[in-house]
Amino acid sequence: MTESNRSHLSDDQLLAGLANGSDAVLEELYKRYFPMVMNLILNNSGTEDDAKDIYQETLIVLYEKVSRDSLELHCQLKTYLYSVSRRLWLKQLSTRNRNGNSLWDTDERADVDDDLTDHEARDRQFDLMADSLDRLGEPCRTLLEDFYIHHLSMQDITEKFGYTNADNAKTQKYKCLMRLKRLFFSVFKEE
Amino acid sequence: MIDNQKFTDWIDRWLRNELTETERLEFEALRRSDPVLAQRALEQQQLVKAMKNYGQRTDFRSRLNRIHANLDMDCVREEVNQLSKVRKLHRNGGTIRQLWQTYRPILAVAASVALITTFGTLMLIRQYQSSHKQQEQYSMMRRDLQAIRRSQNAILQDLNARERALQINPGQVAGSGFLLSPDGYLVTNTHIIQDADSVYIQSTRGDIYKAKVVYADNKYDLAILQIHEDSSFRVKAALPYGFEAAPSDLGERVFTLGFPREEVVYGEGYLSSQTGYRGDSTAYQVAISVNPGNSGGPLLDEKGNVIGIISGKQTSSEGATFAIKTDYLFRAISAIPTDSLKNNSIRMSRKNGLAKLARKDQIKKIQENVYMVKVFKHEK
């Protein structure tokens, strides 16, 4: 893909596509700024895998902000992504016990403090949920995921799991949900 | 009382917006009436939301991973290389900015240290200077002690500038002097004629005579001059003033004539102390205003008796002028080896013909006998 083809989508179009869940736009976005972030990471004692992790995390920050409709871009999308990646990488470096206070970079940066604070809170919630679901075990996990995440109807679930009727399925779902609730809130409330 | 499972089911359907209108109204009423149920609804809402977020992120991650897996990494690497090349070019212009960003904290510390050092040094220097100044003053005092007369701020008139304009031998000093006897002996201060090559005296009328130093007394700062084989000098019958060796009283009205400038200048005051600078018993302290050039002038009392020779003043206080007592003038004269006088003793009169005259008439008579002493020196 040449440079001119790649830039035909504006920042706003990219963000709109991202919110819609368009795979093409996401791919376009992914390709457009990955080299920039990779350059940053490689220049600051990171590997290609580090670059991938940091970039994907950055896109998650962007995606979750966009899907909440809470993204206020005060700068170019490029600058925003760069700033977020930079901060994430700094954090990563400091957890690896290296001097992460001064990166060799010159690009202008945006203030992304608030966004990253939100992101950290969501990160904790995500990890907690992943942990709770792991401990929940099968078939509860799949049942709840199908119902709450994939929005299957009780009828579909009854058929899928081979329950004799929808009421059985409902009872099963209820029990699973109660267990998940205990697992999740036992930690969540402590925080 | 609605059973838990049914209520949970309702919450699910409420969250999915699947409740019928009547069910929704009943559900809302339940929530309002029972805080425990309301709390349960809230918790379940949170839980479901957390699950949805989890699902959303997992889904998004797998999408990203799919894209990444299809990525042509060689192509990306190539682009990264280009970027870093561009950045390097870009950096050449931005090296300083980058260094600045990296070392800014260190620079800030260095700058503050520099500032503190600078101002600290300045303050220290100022303190040192002020203390040093005091020391200088002190050492000046000490020099005063070592050679008291010289310390009295010899009142010299530096004629340098003026005489240089006249293209005459530079390095001159001027003071005052006056006749001791009608045949041409004068008295002035030693500090005036010190290191002199030649000494000239100039009368108020402008007549200039060459004089030679007969005797210079460093102890009393008195020097005796003689008009040197100058036929034009008219020997007078007698001097109008006499010399009074007896100590004068405090409060005595006194006056002086001298040459702080080319013209003779009259000054008036009173005797303020029997001793001179730092208790010097050879001198009087006089409250009279004098200027450089007044040195060597006569100090006369009300009646026109010479009671002293102006020699200096104290710079640190106003109106403290010092005059050597006439008594010591006599002592100095008696110490002159007879050889230097060529057997002509100095005939000093104690007779005074001014006593009954008004001051201006006194001055008229005295001023003819007061001379400006000009001293020519080798420039050192």
What is the model's pLDDT at position A20?
80
Tokens representing B187? 């008295």
What is the model's pLDDT at position B137?
44
Parallel/antiparallel/unpaired status of strands B242-243 and B305-313: parallel
Q: Which of B43, B47, B84 should we substitute to test contact with A (largest number of A Cβ atoms within 10 Å)? A: B47
Helix axes A113-136, A48-67, angle to 10 degrees: 100
> Contact B51/A26, CB-based, under 8 Å?
no
Q: What region, left, alpha or beta, does residue A121 occupy, with left being phi > 0 and alpha being psi -120 to 50 degrees?
A: alpha
> Contact A181/B90, CB-based, under 8 Å?
no
Instruction: Choose among B48, B61, B83: nearest Cβ to A56.
Output: B61
Instruction: Choose among A59, A67, A181: nearest Cβ to B47.
Output: A181
What is the model's pLDDT at position B122?
94
CATH of A3-111, one of 1.10.10, 1.10.1740, 2.60.120, 2.50.20: 1.10.1740
Q: What is the mean pLDDT of chain B?
A: 79
Contacts of A148 in chain B (CB under 8 A): 48, 51-52, 55
CB atoms within 10 A of CB A58: 25
What is the model's pLDDT at position B77?
83
pTM score, two decimals? 0.46
Helix axes A113-136, A77-95, angle to 10 degrees: 60
Helix (H) or strand (E) holding A105: none
CA A59 to chain centre: 7
pLDDT tens digit sequence for B321-376: 888 999 888 888 888 887 777 666 777 777 888 888 888 898 988 988 899 888 88
Q: Write down how long chain A is.
A: 191
- Give CA–CA dist B140/A47, Å, rounded: 79
CATH architecture of A117-188: Orthogonal Bundle (1.10)
pLDDT tens digit sequence for A59-114: 888 888 887 766 667 778 888 888 888 888 888 888 776 554 556 555 566 777 77
Q: Which of A118, A134, A149, A185 should we substitute to test contact with B (largest number of B Cβ atoms within 10 Å)? A: A149
> Contact A129/B73, CB-based, under 8 Å?
no
Instruction: Choose among B57, B68, B83: nearest Cβ to A52.
Output: B68
What is the model's pLDDT at position B169?
44
Low-confidence ranges of chain A (pLDDT < 70): 1-7, 69-72, 97-109, 188-191
Low-confidence ranges of chain B (pLDDT < 70): 1-2, 86-96, 132-171, 316-317, 342-344, 378-380
> Contact A177/B84, CB-based, under 8 Å?
no
Rounded to a whole number of angstroms, the CA Rg of chain B reads 52
What is the model's pLDDT at position A158?
82
Parallel/antiparallel/unpaired status of strands B222-227 and B185-188: antiparallel
What topology does CATH give the domain B157-376? Thrombin, subunit H (2.40.10)
The domain segmentation of chain B, as residue ranges, is 4-69, 157-376
Amino acid present at B236? K
- Give CA–CA dist A88/B29, Å, rounded: 47
CB atoms within 10 A of CB A40: 25
Chain B: residue whose CA lies nearest to A28: B67
Question: Are A3-111 and A117-188 equal in CATH topology?
Answer: no
- Give CA–CA dist B302/B327, Å, rounded: 18
Residue A7 burial by Cβ neighbours in a 10 Å radius (0-12, 13-18, 19+): exposed
Rounded to a whole number of angstroms, the CA Rg of chain A reads 21
3-state secondary structure chain B: CCCHHHHHHHHHHHHCCCCCHHHHHHHHHHHHHCHHHHHHHHHHHHHHHHHHHHHHHHHHHHHHHHHHHCCCHHHHHHHHHHHHHHHHHHHHHHHHHHHHHHHHHHHHHHHHHHHHHHHHHHHHHHHHHHHHHHHHHHHHHHHHHHCHHHHCCCCCEECHHHHHHCCCCCCEEEEEEEEEECCCEEEECHHHHCCCCEEEEECCCCCEEEEEEEEEECCCCEEEEEECCCCCCCCCCCCCCEECCCCCCCCCEEEEEECCCCCCEEEEEEEEECCCHHHCCCEEEEECCCCCCCCCCEEEECCCEEEEEEEEECCCCCCCEEEEEHHHHHHHHHCCCHHHHCCCCCCCCCCCCCCCCCHHHHHHHHHCCEEEEEEECCCC
- Give CA–CA dist B281/B182, Å, rounded: 29
> Contact B98/A48, CB-based, under 8 Å?
no
Report the candidate in B192, B181, B147, B194 with the shortest Cα–Cα distance to residue B311.
B192
Cα dihedral A8, A11, A17, A19, rounded to 10, equals 180
pLDDT tens digit sequence for B228-285: 777 777 777 788 888 888 888 999 999 999 888 888 889 999 999 888 877 788 889 8
What is the model's pLDDT at position B19?
78
> Contact A145/B80, CB-based, under 8 Å?
no
The domain segmentation of chain A, as residue ranges, is 3-111, 117-188
- Give CA–CA dist B245/B259, Å, rounded: 24
